[in-house]
Structure formats: C-alpha cells, structure tokens
Amino acid sequence: ILFAACTNEAADKETTATTDTAPSATTSTNAIDGNQQKLDENKKIVTDFLQSLFGAKDSTAIDKYIADNIIQHSPLLHDGKQGFKGDVLPYFKPDMPKTKVDIKHIAADGDKVWTMVRDVAPNGKVFARVDIFKVENGKITEHWSVEQAEPKESSNKNTMF
C-alpha cells in the first residue's frame, strides 16, 4: 500500500531529516505476486486431482494429491487416505470412459480452494457439486462437499452454474 501526502512548500523547507519505514511498493507487489502464485499453485493441485481421479479414473491420484490423514467433513466419506480409497475406488469400473471434469467455478483464499462442478452421474442425472479443499504442503488435507441434483424445472430463468 502506498500513501502520499500533499504539503505546502514552506512546511517542506522546515522539515528535518526523516526515515521512511513503510515497505516499498516493490516489496508489496512481490508479496502480492507470491501470494497469488501460491493461490494458483493450490488451484492447480485441486484441478489436477479432480481431473486425474474423476476424469481420467486414475486411482494413483489419491496417493499423489491426498494427505495420509485427510479430514473429511462429508458424512459420506471416511477420514484418512485409506478410508477415502475405500469410499471412492469401488465405484471405478474397468470399462468406465475417461471424461473431462466440468469445473464451472474455482476460487482460492489462503489455504482453501473452492470448486463448483457440473457432474453427470452414470445414470445421466446432473448434479451441482461444491467442494472446498484445504491444501497444505502440496497435499489436500481437508475436504468439505455439498451437492444438489439439477431440478427438472426452476422457479427462475437462471442456471445452477
């Protein structure tokens, strides 16, 4: 943040030596750039995880992206990497086609990444799913999830996505 002050010439002449202790604009810019870089890295970890596991059906994505002691806030999923594998992997069938995960929105703040995904179940039913992931040291350490089936009719003209 850069602050500027307006003064008159007489006051400027009376001023004795001062020391500027405020961080420079360059330092602030570097901090912002570093923070944005971390947010972008966290978003990439999450999108790569979603695409690898749910799009490419690559079960090794769990070992690559999920922390051993992941905390699950969804009542349908168990804590821990092994619990997560037990919950998810039985749904993967050898003949399942690879797909592209349809991420409609993604945002990051601090160590959290939010995604909104349009998910089509094998039976053709469409869901809107919002997931929140906590990312620490390159691994997903915590997860929240809510989903809603896309209704046949809407009370408004807006889409869910």
Give mean pLDDT in consecutive 10-residue pieces for the chain, a chain of 161 residues. Answer: 43 48 62 87 98 95 98 95 95 88 97 96 91 98 96 90 88
State the pLDDT at residue 41: 97
Using DSSP's 3-state secondary structure scheme, residue 112 falls into strand
Strand ranges inside the chain, DSSP E: 66-72, 102-109, 112-120, 126-136, 139-149
| 161 contacts: CB under 8 Å, gap ≥ 6 | 104, 105, 116, 118, 128
Question: Within the chain, where are the H helices?
Answer: 9-14, 25-50, 60-65, 81-88
| Predicted local confidence at residue 11, as pLDDT | 46
